[in-house]
Structure 1
Amino acid sequence: MTTDVDALLTPPTAVAARALEVVRTWSPTALVNHCLRSWAWASVIASSAGLEPDRELLFVSAMLHDLGVTPSFDAHTIPFEDAGGAVGSVFALGAGWDPARARRVGEVIERHMWTSVDPDVDVEGHLLEVATSLDVSGVGFDLVPPDVLRTVTAAVPRLDFSATFAGRIHEQAGRKPGSPAGRLDRSGNVAAGGARWDAFLA
């Protein structure tokens, strides 16, 4: 399979491009790359599964989904995905989206930390959950062709993503043990996912 990585990673709209600017401004490169890879995996999975998401909504959600683990947007009393979802909704309102569609950004971001999302209920939430699970935990390698996994990861490398993200999730879990971050931290899936990716890319 031949993949035009530049086309795959290009924001689909001007608003989507601004969401990429936001994540680049407020997140380290390893986290920016995770967001871009998550978008790529979601796009490829959608195509192979015959799903038709709102691509602008999905891209914006993918770019902003982890802002809640960054120092500037971390909330000490609510799960990081809820904080990130609020930021996403505010971004969308500022971009001129109507309130219902802006709220969808928040829903998609919040649901990416669910253990599963029914695509018949929320196709964008489903795709972001599956894509981020692949990128973080190494679950679902079979959903994306191996050459695409390698080509995209070469274009937007993992760098120290697994270690950095594991540290941020562990810190979140310490303050919010009952949150999805607490569950993820206890599962050990971030470190395991890093090892799975290292083995795959070796």
Structure 2
Amino acid sequence: MIMAATIAGLTVPDSAIAREATQLLRDTASDLLFQHSMRVYLWGALLAERKGLSFDPELLYAGAMFHDLGLTDGFHGSSLRFEVDGANAARDFLRSHGIVETDVQKVWSAIAFHTTPGIPEFLHPEASLLHVAAGMDVAGRSYEQFTDEERDAVVAAYPRDEHFNAQIIDTFYEGLKRRPATTFGTFNDDFVAAKDPGFRRVDMCSVILHSPWAHYKPA
């Protein structure tokens, strides 16, 4: 698919870095994740426009392209959180293109924290926008902050059909089932629990109550 130059009044980044990031995602991810990632950029940019937030479109675009890369086949053997895999891949990519380290770290933190509620909004605009945009596309969070016309334009350019909800859950599960321990302390364990009847969530209270301190006796 050729990227539309303008969608819902927004110009999609078309720099050499943006094109390479797009091609990398196209080469490694499913069409579902590609379409999702494009919509994530657009939701984020639209929200920034509405709120009058100053942000770097190229950095947000890179964040959108890499934010779910850790769920793809190339990372199924990883023992890291999928968010960290994507963040590390984005960091390496941006460094290889000579992006200044402060901007590299912006993209890294935006991706690493994009599934963590309550933190991204206190970092920088790119992190806040990526977090909200990913939540919008997957779960409809902040849905009401977009107009019908904006939603229609984005989905017309990068389709989100009636099968997306079930398919994105499957995608998360496939990316996490070999490393379920990385879901502790996140909502990612919901994806594993939904698909694996034998999965047992780690209960933090049980961890505390059965820690080595349970048998400690002060001298």
Q: What TM-score, normalized to structure 2?
A: 0.76
Aligned length: 185
1:6: how far off? 7.8
* 1:169 lines up with 2:201 in the alignment: no
Give 3-state SS (helix, strand or coil) of 1:180's partner: coil
Which aligned runs of 4 or more in structure 1 are off by greater than 4 angstroms? none
**CA distance, structure 1, for counterparts of residue 119 and residue 129 of structure 2:** 8
**CA distance, structure 2, for counterparts of residue 165 and residue 141 of structure 1:** 18
**CA distance, structure 1, for counterparts of residue 14 and residue 124 of structure 2:** 20
5+ residue gaps, structure 1, are 189-202
Larger radius of gyration: 2
Give 3-state SS (helix, strand or coil) of 2:118's partner: coil
1:164: how far off? 2.6
1:76: how far off? 3.0
Contact 1:111 1:117 in 2 (8 A): yes
**CA distance, structure 2, for counterparts of residue 64 and residue 7 of structure 1:** 24
1:103: how far off? 2.5
Structure 1 residues 84 and 165: alpha-carbon distance in aligned structure 2, compared to 1, 3 A threshold:
same
1:140: how far off? 1.2
Q: What TM-score, normalized to structure 1?
A: 0.82
Percent of residue pairs identical: 26
Structure 1 residues 178 and 138: alpha-carbon distance in aligned structure 2, compared to 1, 3 A threshold:
same
Bigger helix share: 1
5+ residue gaps, structure 2, are 1-5, 195-219
Contact 1:74 1:83 in 2 (8 A): no
Give 3-state SS (helix, strand or coil) of 2:73's partner: coil
1:161: how far off? 3.3
1:14: how far off? 2.1
Query: Quick one: which amino acid aligns to residue 80 of structure 1?
Result: F
Which aligned pairs between 1:41-120 and structure 2 lie closer than 5 A?
41-120=43-122
